[in-house]
Amino acid sequence: MNTFFRLLRTQPTRLLLMLALSFTSACSAAQGATATPFRPQVTIMAPTNAPAATATNASAATATNAPAATDVAAPTSTPTEAAGVSAGTNPYTGLPASAEVLARKPLLIKVANTAEIRPQSGLSEADIVVEHLSEGGITRFTSLFLTNAPKKVGSVRSCRLIDLELPVMFDAALVCSGTSPGVKPLMRNSYAHKNDLTMISDFGPYECASCPMFRTSDRSAPHNLFANPTNAWAELDKRERNQPSTFKSWSFAESAGPEGKPTAGVNVGYKSGVAGWNYDAVRGRWLRSISGKQQVDANNSQPLAFANVVLVYAPHVTTLIQEDVTGARSIEVQVWGEGPVRVFRDGREYGGKWVRNAAVGNFELLDPAGKHIPLKPGNTWIEMVPLTGVDVGTR
């Protein structure tokens, strides 16, 4: 005890270090006595910098410390590369598209995913939906529209840190209700903002027929804000920002071959609710559920059904950016470099890795041999999955 007080008076820093080391050792010993795996929670002071984007292909960014690609069979058949916009093909779906559609900029519309706003509007008509953790364990969607233009998409909510990356990945314009004070300066200084990958965050009046976004009278704010893609494209025309995307098309094939692992369903165990996907062989689509309840589109009462479900594993880092009045912190999804990927199509799973270099419109899905994993022509749902802390199960 005398030694303790002497150190407290003369060497407080050393004493604190000793106590910290003792506490760490005790925790390590306790951890060794239990079978529960240790899941570290990484915290940083501010978001890190993704590779600087360029308008042309650049060398691959430095890979993150991600585990090796999941050990499932990869397709051995040669994938059919989508022809791209020059051949009248939607580069996001591999399906034919008109010249008018291909001449416009894709829209990334931010959509909420909390219980009080379900069912959401317009998701069944999206070309791509990206689901990611926002804060506090809840998820949010970023939905990409190029082919279809539903009159009502939402409800629309604010952007998150991942929306610094998605407009560059897909070379698309961004539509959301705004950002938190901590995200706003980062958004303004981002490559997307400086290079006119436009963000539309203007609020519209109630029941506005010509606004990119409008509010309805059937819900209370903030859950009553919706987007109109046709009007958003008109707004891009006014700003002279409605140019075709340079997205490097994924590979598409009607059949990926029988080599994949037969899979009837997949569950992603987000804290706010398990995102479930069940394969419907009759439709040839994966049907979406949340905590066991099927999700439908409020616009047409149709189930959310997607040709492909892609699990993208990436580092998730909790920052000190406060997103709401509860003190919840923003999450940085470090979707640059490369990491494991699992592709589900036709009732089968194919493993590999995702790769994103610094070029605009670049996000590749590769098998272990380095070949492009062919997606099924149609819409794709991407689940952003942390490297630890979220359980994924298949059946």
- What CATH number should be reported for the domain holding residue 207? 3.50.90.10
Decide if pLDDT at 350 tops 60.
yes
Worst-scoring range by mean pLDDT, 40-49, 210-219, 346-355, 379-388?
A: 40-49
Chain centroid offset of residue 105 CA: 19
Residue 325: inside a domain, yes or no? yes
Residue 193: inside a domain, yes or no? yes
What does the pLDDT average to over 187-198?
A: 65
Residue 358: inside a domain, yes or no? yes
Quote the pLDDT of residue 279. 98
Residue 56: inside a domain, yes or no? no
Residue tagged 């009553």 (tokens): 224
Chain centroid offset of residue 215 CA: 25
Task: Read off the pLDDT band of 22 (50, 70, 90).
Answer: very low
Decide if pLDDT at 37 tops 60.
no
Whole-model pTM over 0.85: no
Quote the pLDDT of residue 193. 57
Residue 33: inside a domain, yes or no? no
What does the pLDDT average to over 314-342?
A: 90
List the structure tokens of 364. 């590749």
Strands 225-227 and 213-215, by their bridges, are: antiparallel
Express each pLDDT in 68-108 by its tens digit.
Answer: 444 444 444 344 444 334 479 999 999 999 999 999 999 99
152/279 Cα distance (integer angstroms): 27
Task: Read off the pLDDT band of 199 (50, 70, 90).
Answer: confident
Residue 30: inside a domain, yes or no? no
> Domain range spanning residue 97?
85-394
140/150 Cα distance (integer angstroms): 19
Contact between residue 333 and residue 42 where contact means Cβ atoms under 8 Å apart:
no
Express each pLDDT in 255-279 by its tens digit.
Answer: 887 789 999 999 999 998 999 999 9
Among candidate residues 156, 166, 164, the one with its CA nearest the CA of residue 231: 156
What is the number of structural domains in the chain?
Answer: 1
Quote the pLDDT of residue 122. 98
Residue 112: inside a domain, yes or no? yes
316/320 Cα distance (integer angstroms): 13
Hey, is 289 helix, strand or coil? strand
What does the pLDDT average to over 212-217?
A: 94
Task: Read off the pLDDT band of 52 (50, 70, 90).
Answer: low
161/62 Cα distance (integer angstroms): 20
Contact between residue 104 and residue 284 where contact means Cβ atoms under 8 Å apart:
no
E strand or H helix at 280, and its extent?
strand 273-280
Residue 47: inside a domain, yes or no? no
Decide if pLDDT at 31 tops 60.
no
Residue type, 307: A
Contact between residue 357 and residue 235 where contact means Cβ atoms under 8 Å apart:
no
Contact between residue 331 and residue 161 where contact means Cβ atoms under 8 Å apart:
yes
Hey, is 338 helix, strand or coil? strand
Contact between residue 163 and residue 174 where contact means Cβ atoms under 8 Å apart:
yes
Sign of the Cα torsion 143, 145, 148, 150 reads positive
Q: What percent of the chain has pLDDT over 90?
A: 62
